[in-house]
Amino acid sequence: MIVTLTMNPSIDRTATLPAPLQVGGVNRIAEMDDSPGGKGINVARVVAAGGTPTRAVFPAEPEDQFVAMCVATGVSTAVVSTGGAVRVNLTVVDSDGTTTKINAPGPELGAAASDRARDTVVHLAREADWVVLCGSLPRGVPDHFYADLVAGLRGAGARVAVDTSDAPLAALAARFPDAAPDLIKPNGEELGQLAGTDGAELERRAAAGDLAPVVEAARALCAGGLGAALVTLGGAGAVLVDDDEAWFAGSPQVRVRSTVGAGDSSLAGYLLAESRGLPPADRLVWAVNHGSVAASLPGTGLPLGLDPATFTTLPRRLD
């Protein structure tokens, strides 16, 4: 079983425009879609559709419409009561695939709700293969929440993956090796945050075919206790680095319609491949294919039940 934790879930409202976004002007909406969102929710939906048992943990009130939306997707849930409504995030996607996100802060969580979320995850981890900690932290939750939870999950039996950014990511890195997870899934910018380097430059060089700085930054993290880094690089593909190997897989050519959920789908693809006992190179291929299909779908489109042979992505070892 794979357990996901989404501390700051959202209803993802996607507005698709028939033309480029006109800032300060009047824009017409061609399509509008609401989906249950948040990184861990997206991962859980893709993993469940791929046939691997999953449980999505998140804070919400039982009567919140968000809970009903999650149940409708077929994902098994563990709801932690909060006293506040789940936020609504707006994504605007224009005709060339440019994505503009406007995210609400969400309700403030007190210590009691945070403790309930932590205790729920620790309890479920006893029967899980992976625990996946995803996304931003809501107001009221300290930046070191993920770092504390990763350290607290040691000995629970499950491996731990983390996909977050900014202050929670910095707090996690500051606690290596005690809080080093088995897997992180940064993009280039987030890898820069972790490694103390220019993430935009990492992405520019990767897009030009120079992957050495990405591998070097990821290897430094592995030397500090991290198990592996799955670094997503948008249209350039992704790199997988652990203590022994480094692999690259380029993204297949797709028409990008929305990047929302693409990184989450990549992480889910990796976990699905790992759950089937596939080697690192194949896990990377599954990650890239799932992320690429997500990018080709409108709104928070997810590659649910994707046949990983949809694209013939070939991995390349970088050592």
What pLDDT is stored for residue 201 in this prediction? 92
Distance CA 204, CA 183 (A): 24
Phi, psi of 90 (to 5 degrees): -110, 130
Enumerate residues 6+ apart whose C-beta is below 8 A from 219.
241, 246
Q: What is the pLDDT of residue 64?
A: 93
Q: Report how many helices (DSSP H) and strands (DSSP E) the chain contains, helices first.
A: 10, 14
pLDDT-based confidence at residue 261 (cuts at 50, 70, 90) = confident
**CB contact at 8 A, 238 and 288:** yes
User: Could you tell me which of 318, 254, 248 has the C-alpha nearest to residue 291?
Assistant: 254
Q: Give the pLDDT mean for 235-261.
A: 89
Active site annotation includes 34:
no
For residue 257, pLDDT over 90 is answered with: no
Omega prior to 177 cis, within 30 of 0: yes
Domains annotated on the chain, with CATH: 2-317 (3.40.1190.20)
Q: What pLDDT was estimated at residue 63?
A: 92
Average confidence score pLDDT of the chain: 92
The pLDDT tens digits for 31-48 are 898 989 999 999 999 999
Catalytic residue among 12, 94, 264, 282: 264
Q: Beta strand 246-249 with 238-242: parallel, antiparallel or unpaired?
A: antiparallel
Name the β-bridge partners of 37.
10
For residue 241, give the 3-state DSSP assignment: strand
User: Do 271 and 1 touch, CB atoms closer than 8 A?
Assistant: no
Residue 196's pLDDT band (boundaries 50, 70, 90)?
Answer: confident
Q: Are 99 and 91 in contact (CB under 8 A)?
A: yes
pLDDT at 2: 98
Joined tokens for residue 177:
């090796």
Report the residue count for the chain: 319
Rounded Cα distance, 285 and 290, in Å: 9
Interval 115-138 mean pLDDT: 96
Distance of CA 83 to the CA centre of its chain: 26
pTM, to two decimals: 0.92
Give 206: exposed, middle or buried? Use CB within 10 Å, 0-12, 13-18, 19+: buried
Residue 287 has pLDDT above 90, yes or no: yes
Give 102-119 pLDDT, tens digit per residue: 988 888 999 999 999 999
Helix (H, G, I), strand (E, B) or coil at 288: helix
More confident residue, 82 or 147: 147
Q: Which residue has the tokens 């680095």?
A: 241
Lookup result for tokens 């088995």: 182
pLDDT for the residue 259: 80
Question: Tokens 């999505």 sit at which residue?
Answer: 56
A 10 A CB-CB count for 296 gives: 18
- The CA distance from 245 to 127, in Å, is 29
Q: Which residue has the tokens 């890898």?
A: 191
